[in-house]
Amino acid sequence: MFPVPYKYKLIALVQTAVLTALILLGVVTYRKITSLIETEMGMRARGVALAASYLVNLRMDEYLELVSPADEEKPFYEEMKKLFQEFKASNNLKYMYTEKRISEDQIVYILDAEPEDSEYASHIGDTDDMNALRHRTYASGKPEYGPLTDDPVWGKFITGYAPLINSENGEMVGLIGVDIEAGEVFRLFREILVVITAAICIIFVLSFAVVYKLADLMARPMFIDGLTGTYNHKYFQEALALEINRASRTGKPLSTLMMDLDYFKKVNDTYGHRFGDVVLMETAKLLKESFRKGDTLARYGGEEFGVILPNTDIGEAFVLASHIRHEVEQQTVHCRESGVDVNVTISIGVAEWKRGLKRGDLIDMADKALYESKNRNRNMVTIYTDECRNFYRRK
């Protein structure tokens, strides 16, 4: 047997070290990517659970009357079950249910979105064991989410919980839970493992960059705009539908703002799109600081923002919009490339929901008022009126 030359021993040693380093980096990369995806999925589950809790919290008195299987014959139970099924379908949920704790170790189910003939259906009074996520949510009283689960009986999902609150005494009466289908996520995890293994065998640095970018794209929050950090168009639409449903039940006012930065194309053309993004981010930051806790701010598209104002009539909405217009007008954004401070203005349309109006109608009204502000030399606030509608028709 011939001795191995020294240089080949060195190459073998280096290659072994490189392979070891690549494997370690591959393991770290896999854990990082899956953690990001799991976190974003969990945030979505938590957000969907919170949105779903409004369905019950708005009718808490009737919900508290559901105490036995006989109550499943009540119109309220049947109506809520139908609403749950619609919400489940529109949000691609695997399961949706409400529960309350009866001891430190057990809960009972109340409402359930499963069809009556489903083997997974739960009825009033059916029990289940407390788990770590339930304990955490009951202890914190805040929306929580749990880890991705691959259960041989219930399937692949991630759970989000939100508390159900009795508004009369502030007491938490139970939880609403949503399980988001996660089969695609587990398949994605397997695909990532294959890609990372291949990257280790070929060119780790290049493959790592591609895979990490892919995972980053896949893990973007489903309800958050990546540039501004505000809610996105999809969330705005769903939140507005829920608020209209709430206003129709409570009779409380509801208003909407549509806002658009003036001459934004000129900003991009003059200072570049990178600075345009900075302007959008700074404006979004200012808007988030200016609105109230219960308001919903979303990037509707491009340089346009939408705002949902619960419990706000048209007069209050106009005052708030006027304040926003003034704050934006006073804001300056520094452009490093040109060394100048840039001012932008904003045009705003205001509309108030009236009984019978649908979500699209309210958005359309605010949008028409916004176009009227644009027509009136911009940097203005306009309340929707018949004149706005007529102007829109002329255009």
Residues identified as active-site: 303
Cα maximum dimension of the chain: 98
Paired sense of beta strands 296-301 and 381-383, if any: unpaired
Q: Which residues of 183-210 are buried (b: 16+ CB within 10 A; e: fewer)?
A: eebeebbeebeebbeebbeeebeebbee
Q: Which residues of 344-366 are buried (b: 16+ CB within 10 A; e: fewer)?
A: bebbbbbbbbeeebebeebbbbb
Which structure tokens are listed for 88?
A: 């489940």
Closest CA to 87 of 121, 113, 60, 50: 113
Q: Distance between CA 307 and CA 312 in Å, rounded?
A: 12
Closest CA to 196 of 52, 76, 28, 61: 28
How many CB atoms sit inside 10 A of residue 291's CB? 17
Which structure tokens are listed for 206?
A: 């290049």
Contact 243, 57 (CB under 8 A): no
Token pair 């291949």: residue:
198
Token pair 């808007």: residue:
287
DSSP string, 73-140: GSHHHHHHHHHHHHHHHHTTEEEEEEEEESSSSEEEEEEE-S-TT-TT---TT-EEE--HHHHHHHHH
E strand or H helix that includes residue 38: helix 6-57
